[in-house]
Every structure is written in C-alpha cells, then in structure tokens.
C-alpha cells in the first residue's frame, strides 16, 4: 500500500480550491491524457518552462518596445471612447518622472477602470510596451496592482505549457494550492552525493521551481532541476534493478545442445553471418548455457539481420530439448517472420507453426495441441501466444520483436509460460544509450552495428511538395523496369480519419496515372484486407503501395526500391529512418524521396540529418535532441511511462550516477529495510513504480 503521507498528492486535482467543473477536464487533458483524471502529483510534476520577471527595475523612458516591463506610475487621465461606440478603446494615461504610457483596453467598463486606476494614485503596471503613432502604449496590461498587491506579487512568475482554454494565472493559482499539499519527505539520496552536488531536498526543489526566487532557479541545469531529474532516474534504475534481481533469482536452466541443429541451420542460410551477428550469437550462447536466466536486448539497425540471430538462438534452445517462441507486435510482421523462417526451419528439420488472433477452428486447435504436446518446437505469433489458452510443453526461450511496443509486464508474463524462460528482446529502433539504460536497464545488451554484405546505402533526397506531380509522373520509368515504390501519406496529429482521407486521395490520384497497379493499406482495414494488399505488392500484382503511418509497412519486398514520404517534416527522425529501411533490401540501388511542405527549424534539421547519414544510431541521438524520448520509443502511444522531470539530452550524465547509486543501495540493503531503504520505497511509490515494491515483497 502507498504510504499515507503520499495520499494527498495522489488525490484528484479537481479537489483543489478554484478548480471549477468546467476547468477540470482541461487540466485532465493537459496533465493526464492517458489517465482518467489529473491528480495533484501530475500538477506538481508539470514543471514551469520559464518565468516572467515582474520586478520594478526600470523607468518608462528606458522601456524597449516589444519587451515586457513593470513600472511604478501615477494615474493622470481617463480617456473613455465616445458614447454609443462600445468597441472604441478605453485609454488611461499614466506617467513616471521620465515619460508617459497610454494603457489601452477594449470592451472595458468605465466604473471598473476608475476603481482600478483612480486619478492621482500610484499603481504598478506590467505588460508589453508597444509604439502606436509614435507614443508608448500597453494594450491590456497583464498586471495592474496597488502597493499591497505588489507586495504579494512574486518577483518571478512561472510560465507553463498550457492547453486551449487554460490561462496562465489559473495554473499558477492551482500550483500554489498543490504545493500546500506537499509534506517534507525522508531523504533517499546518498548523503555524500547530496553534499557533493549541493542539491536541495525534494520538497524545497519543487517549491523553488513553482515559486522561483530567480530565473536561474528554473534553468535545466539548476540544482533544483538536477535534483528532481536525478530522483526520477534513480527511481527508474531502482525499479529495473529490482526487476532484474527477481528474474535472476528465479533459477534458470542451462540449455546446451550438441551442435547438430545449429550446424544444419547455418548450412540452410543462403549467406554467411556478419561479425556483429556472430558476436550477438556468442553472447546468447553463453547466456543459454548459464544456469541464470537470460534477459538480453538485441539492438540492430534496419536490415542488420536481427531475425536471423533470433532464429539461430531459437535453434540452440530447440537443440537443447526446449521449445522457442517469437512474438511480433502485429499480425503482418508475425506472418512475415513465419514465411521467411519456415523454409529454413524445414531444411534444418525443425517443426514451426504460426499462431495469431485470427486463427480459428481446427487449424488453431491443431497448433495449440502441437504446442502442448511438444511436437511443435518453434512458434511464431502475436501476443496471442501468451493468452491463457496457450500452453507449451517445455518453453525455454521467448523472443520479443520490437520490444518498445511491449511493457515490462509482458516480459514478466512470459516467465509464467514455461520453466524459467530465457528472454531475448529485439528492436530495430536504434536507441540512444541514455534510453537503453532507462528503459532496458534490467537487461544485458548486444548491438549489431554493421549491415549484411551487399547492402547498398540508400540515396536520400529532399524535394518540395510543389513538385509532387513531377515525382508522381516520374515513377513510370522506374516501374517499367520491374521495381516497386512505397508512397507514405502524411502524419496527421490525433486524427486517423484525416490520415485515411489523405491516403484515399493520394491512392485515387495515383490510380488515374497507373490504374490497377496502385494498392492501398491503412489502419482501419480488416487484417485480411491488409494482408491481401501487402501480398499483392510483394507478388508484384501492384507496384505502388500507398500507406498511412498507422500500418506497419514491415513486409520485406526486395523489388521495392523507392520510398516516397509526403510531408516528411511531420515525422520524427526515427520514424523516417524506419520507413527508409523498407527499401534497399535487394540488388538494385534504392532511393528515398522526402517531400516537404512548410519547414521550421527542427524540421529542416531532421531532413538534413536524413540526407547526411544512413547510420540509425547517429539518427537516434539526433532524434533525442530534437524530439525527446517518448516519441522515439513510442511511449506516447503505448502508455509506457515517459520522463516528466528529466530532459534526457540535458540530464543524461546523471543516469550512470543513478545506476551506480541504485546498485550500491541494493547491494547493502536488498529489501530496502534501512532508513534510507524505507525512504527509497517512498520514492518508488512517488514515481508510481509500485510493481518494484511488489517484487520485493514477493521475494
């Protein structure tokens, strides 16, 4: 159970004074898009993105047009608009000993203005200075205060990211209410580290960020920000290490064969393994032979040959007398793996089956029986493999493809399907080192950096959308030579319907040029329709495949040599790199055309990176700088926790410290029972790593 002192922080935010029923859904949308409703902790962890300096520090004559200033002024005159002209501006002239400013409002009531700005009185006005007809003016001042109001006004007012309908002052007021619910918490950071870094406590750091004493206090590298970023990283590393300790505690099994199946499988391969593949297999072989359970992440760029490594690993397990299973995130990908691996498995004499959610009737029953009696050695499928109805006679190795689509819970679920199952997870999304440690810190890591021999670099070009018709018509020449093209339609934020409309429109416009040779695939199709569209393209019955981004264009088509991405500036770098990797899989030279519309600074940097490199790991590091971790790993969509207080590209150097600290704490206090251990438990609850606490209890 969560410690009682944290309960006020996990109460619904709508319980705070001033949060009306009308405003509450806006806070939910801003702070808890994946949850039912925003809580006080969500507001406290929504840190300011800057601050406004409200100090009175200059005279009117020194003011700079276009900049915000706060001035001490005397009210000189009221100039309401003419009677009967409600839309005319209401002006008030104010001055100090260096000059004057006209304060201007629209739709202002005279009694209210006269009460707020009595003639002859001193007031403090804050807002942006403009020049109008050669004179200084301030339209709708942000603050008009008397001396008492100024005394209550913070010198530095925090600014926050907002959603439509929410106003800065509302959020500031709500944050003030949330801070009142914050109690002092016991210290979980190592005292020597805290002293060395000169970091404040958790509660003072949060207070200083929401009530900044200076602009320096909210900078990303300020002690307050570093302290909170460290807390988040430390909580994550503790949770992952507890997970790893639990997996390691469950005794594994040494899975060692005599080498005959591995030899047969290597002979069945139509190519030799790269050095990177050999090294990864050496790592896996060592893990399988160990009595401890394997938990390994296999990272490889698009086309680096991870699937073959997975096949060889599964062959090792089968050879040692165990079953293996490979789980893919989509049916299309599962079918592709099955179709690619079945001929190789047949040659090596290994029985292989496919299991997806679409399988029904006698065929499904036969597959389930084969897994249960052990006559099927190797299963390929979707998450359907791990439903309750599926039982394995002797599952020894589980391989998960595209790991970031599945959370830690699926990793735990696998262990229930067999006896101390070894786990290998793969990702074709190159992940920056910071994020590998953050999300996969409970795993050993193997990386395949090089591409198989014969892979040619893909020629990437950026072309303005103004030339779209020219690009569409230019496909004729390529298609006549038997090559094929993907045409990816623009990403439309939060609207599958608009994406679908864009794809439908492009499909119809290309059909006018190429007729029945154009296929279409999108996320709202039935699985069977998607499969048909994909197989038509793979077989050459269609030669241009129009697709939205919601579909996994993961089918391996060696004849596909052109990738066209419309509105490429809307995509993240990793996504562009993944899409580009769908071509360049055959003997012909391939190219990727990035069609761009209105490009901002970030979009331009993205396109330039794509043009300049084919290295997925370099691209991933750049993507982290431009977008943040949530988009790279798909955590925004999958519900996996992203960072809230940490900016990986700014705070990444804290990660190694957090990992070492977590290791040391657990080495000295594996059950977190010391005073610092108890404080660390509070930290885990604070960052909602409750699963880690349950693992400690489970022993």
Q: Helix, strand or coil for residue 538?
A: helix
Euclidean distance between CA atoms 576 and 145, whole angstroms? 52
Q: Of the given ranges (65-69, 137-141, 479-483), which has the lowest mean pLDDT?
A: 479-483
Mean pLDDT computed over 261-288: 93
Euclidean distance between CA atoms 531 and 528, whole angstroms? 5
Burial of 229: CB neighbours in 10 Å, binned 0-12, 13-18, 19+: buried
Mean pLDDT computed over 410-429: 76
Residue 189: both structure tokens together? 């950071």
User: Looking at residue 634, what is its pLDDT?
Assistant: 46
User: Looking at residue 633, what is its pLDDT?
Assistant: 47
Residue 409: pLDDT band by 50, 70, 90 thresholds?
low
Euclidean distance between CA atoms 288 and 285, whole angstroms? 5
User: Looking at residue 620, what is its pLDDT?
Assistant: 79
Euclidean distance between CA atoms 177 and 489, whole angstroms? 46
Q: Which residues pair with 485 in a beta bridge?
A: 544, 562
User: Looking at residue 263, what is its pLDDT?
Assistant: 94
Residue 332: pLDDT band by 50, 70, 90 thresholds?
confident
Euclidean distance between CA atoms 45 and 51, whole angstroms? 16
Residue 413: pLDDT band by 50, 70, 90 thresholds?
low
264: nearest Cα among 318, 227, 225: 318
Spell out the domain ranges in the chain: 4-52+159-219, 55-153, 260-448, 459-613
User: Looking at residue 640, what is its pLDDT?
Assistant: 42
Residue-wise DSSP of 444-466: EEEEE-SPPTTPPPPEEEEEEGG
Residue 77: pLDDT band by 50, 70, 90 thresholds?
very high
Q: Is the pLDDT of residue 625 over 60?
A: yes
Q: Is the pLDDT of residue 303 over 50?
A: yes
Residue 226: pLDDT band by 50, 70, 90 thresholds?
very high
Mean pLDDT computed over 342-348: 94
631: nearest Cα among 615, 614, 648, 618: 648
In terms of pLDDT, which residue wins out, 186 or 449? Answer: 186
The interaxial angle of helices 223-249 and 653-668, nearest 10 deg, is: 50
Q: Is the pLDDT of residue 514 over 90?
A: yes
User: Looking at residue 644, what is its pLDDT?
Assistant: 85
Burial 332-358 (b: 16+ CB within 10 A, else e): bbbbbbbeebbebbeebebebbbbbee
Strands 378-381 and 484-488 come out as: unpaired
C-beta atoms surrounding 141 within 10 Å: 22
Q: Is the pLDDT of residue 527 over 90?
A: no
Q: pLDDT (tens digit, 9 = 90+) per residue, 627-656?
A: 654 444 444 433 344 678 988 778 878 988
Q: Is the pLDDT of residue 554 over 70?
A: no
User: Looking at residue 545, what is its pLDDT?
Assistant: 94
Euclidean distance between CA atoms 384 and 401, whole angstroms? 14
Dihedrals phi, psi of 477, to nearest 5 degrees = -65, -40
Q: Is the pLDDT of residue 550 over 70?
A: no
Q: pLDDT (tens digit, 9 = 90+) per residue, 377-406?
A: 999 998 888 888 899 999 999 998 875 555
CATH topology of domain 459-613: Rossmann fold (3.40.50)
Decide if 396 contacts 322 (C-beta within 8 A): yes
Measured at the CA of 106, the angle between CA 101 and CA 110, to 5 degrees, comes to 85
Euclidean distance between CA atoms 506 and 511, whole angstroms? 8
Maximal CA-CA distance, the chain: 100
On average, the pLDDT of the chain sits at 87
450: nearest Cα among 312, 591, 300, 592: 300
Decide if 29 contacts 163 (C-beta within 8 A): yes
User: Looking at residue 642, what is its pLDDT?
Assistant: 66
User: Strand 591-596's sheet: what is its strand order?
Assistant: 459-464, 591-596, 560-565, 484-488, 544-547, 518-521
Euclidean distance between CA atoms 629 and 652, whole angstroms? 11
Decide if 324 contacts 385 (C-beta within 8 A): no
649: nearest Cα among 626, 617, 619: 626
Q: Is the pLDDT of residue 178 over 50?
A: yes
C-beta atoms surrounding 503 within 10 Å: 26
Q: Of the given ranges (153-157, 256-260, 453-457), which has the lowest mean pLDDT?
A: 453-457
Q: Of the given ranges (36-50, 127-141, 369-383, 470-484), which has the lowest mean pLDDT?
A: 470-484
Residue-wise DSSP of 493-513: TT-HHHHHHHHHHHHHHHHHH
Q: Same fold for the domain at 55-153 and the one at 459-613?
A: no
Instruction: Tell me which CATH code domain 55-153 carries.
Output: 2.40.50.140
User: Looking at residue 361, what is its pLDDT?
Assistant: 86
Give the pTM: 0.67
Instruction: Tell me which CATH code domain 260-448 carries.
Output: 3.40.50.300
User: Looking at residue 437, what is its pLDDT?
Assistant: 67
Mean pLDDT computed over 223-234: 96
Residue percentage of the chain with pLDDT more than 70: 90
Q: pLDDT (tens digit, 9 = 90+) per residue, 88-131?
A: 899 999 999 999 999 999 988 899 999 999 999 999 999 999 99
Q: Is the pLDDT of residue 626 over 80?
A: no
Burial 231-248 (b: 16+ CB within 10 A, else e): bbbbbbbbbbbbbbebbe
Decide if 106 contacts 89 (C-beta within 8 A): yes
């Amino acid at each position: 159970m969560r410690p009682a002192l944290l309960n006020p922080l996990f109460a619904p935010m709508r319980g705070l004074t001033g949060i009306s029923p009308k405003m509450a859904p806006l806070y939910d949308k801003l702070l808890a898009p994946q949850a039912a409703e925003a809580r006080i902790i969500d507001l406290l962890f929504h840190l300011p993105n800057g601050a406004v300096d409200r100090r009175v520090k200059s005279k009117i004559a020194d003011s700079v047009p276009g900049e915000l200033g706060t001035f001490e002024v005397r009210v000189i005159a009221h100039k309401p608009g003419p009677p009967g002209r409600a839309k005319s501006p209401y002006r008030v002239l104010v001055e100090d000993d260096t000059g004057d400013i006209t304060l201007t409002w629209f739709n202002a009531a005279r009694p209210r203005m006269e009460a707020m700005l009595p003639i002859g009185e001193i007031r403090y006005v804050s807002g942006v200075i403009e020049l109008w007809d050669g004179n200084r003016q301030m339209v709708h001042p942000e603050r008009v205060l008397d001396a008492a109001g100024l005394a209550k006004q913070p010198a530095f007012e925090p600014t926050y990211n907002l959603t439509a309908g929410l106003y800065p002052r509302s959020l500031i007021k709500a944050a003030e209410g949330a801070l009142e619910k914050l109690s002092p918490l016991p210290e979980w950071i190592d005292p020597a580290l805290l002293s060395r870094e000169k970091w404040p406590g958790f509660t003072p750091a949060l207070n200083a960020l929401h009530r900044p004493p200076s602009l320096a206090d909210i900078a990303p590298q300020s002690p307050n920000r570093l302290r909170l970023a460290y807390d988040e990283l430390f909580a994550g590393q503790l949770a992952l290490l507890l997970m790893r300790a639990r997996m390691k505690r469950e005794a594994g099994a040494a899975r060692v064969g005599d080498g005959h199946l591995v030899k047969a499988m290597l002979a069945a391969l139509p190519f030799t393994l790269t050095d990177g593949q050999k090294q990864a297999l050496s790592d896996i072989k060592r893990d399988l032979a160990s009595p401890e359970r394997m938990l390994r992440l296999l990272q490889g760029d698009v086309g680096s040959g991870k699937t073959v490594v997975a096949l060889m690993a599964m062959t090792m397990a089968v050879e040692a007398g165990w079953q293996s299973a490979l789980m893919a995130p989509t049916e299309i990908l599962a079918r592709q793996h099955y179709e690619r691996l079945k001929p190789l498995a047949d040659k090596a004499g290994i029985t292989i089956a496919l299991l997806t959610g679409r399988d029904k009737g006698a065929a499904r029953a036969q597959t389930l029986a084969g897994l249960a009696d052990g006559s099927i050695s190797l299963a390929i499928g979707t998450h359907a493999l791990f439903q309750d109805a599926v039982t394995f006679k002797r599952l020894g190795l589980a391989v998960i493809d595209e790991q970031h689509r599945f959370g830690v819970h699926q990793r735990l679920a696998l262990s229930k399907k067999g006896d101390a199952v070894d786990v290998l997870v793969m990702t074709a999304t190159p992940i920056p080192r910071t994020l590998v440690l953050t999300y996969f810190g409970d795993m050993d890591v193997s990386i395949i950096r090089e591409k198989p021999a014969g892979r040619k670099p893909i020629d990437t070009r950026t072309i303005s959308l103004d030339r779209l018709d020219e690009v569409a018509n230019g496909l004729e020449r390529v298609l006549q030579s038997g090559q094929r093209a993907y045409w990816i339609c623009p990403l439309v934020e939060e609207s599958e319907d608009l994406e679908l409309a864009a794809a439908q429109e492009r499909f119809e416009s290309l059909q006018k040029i190429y007729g029945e040779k154009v296929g279409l695939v999108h996320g709202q199709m039935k699985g069977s329709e998607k499969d048909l569209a994909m197989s038509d393209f793979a077989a050459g019955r269609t030669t241009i495949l129009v697709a939205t981004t919601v579909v996994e264009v993961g089918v391996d088509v060696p004849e596909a040599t052109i990738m066209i991405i419309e509105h490429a500036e809307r995509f993240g770098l990793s996504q562009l790199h993944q899409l580009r990797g769908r071509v360049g899989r055959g003997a012909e030279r391939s190219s990727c055309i990035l069609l761009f519309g209105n490009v901002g600074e970030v979009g331009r940097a993205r396109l330039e990176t794509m043009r300049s490199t084919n290295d997925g790991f370099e691209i991933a590091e750049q993507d982290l700088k431009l977008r943040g971790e949530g988009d790279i790993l798909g955590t925004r969509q999958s519900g996996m926790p992203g960072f809230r207080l940490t900016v990986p590209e700014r705070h990444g150097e804290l990660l190694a410290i957090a990992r070492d600290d977590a290791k040391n704490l657990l080495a000295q206090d594996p059950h977190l029972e010391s005073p610092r251990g108890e404080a660390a438990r509070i930290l885990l609850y604070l960052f909602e790593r409750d699963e880690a606490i349950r693992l400690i209890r489970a022993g």
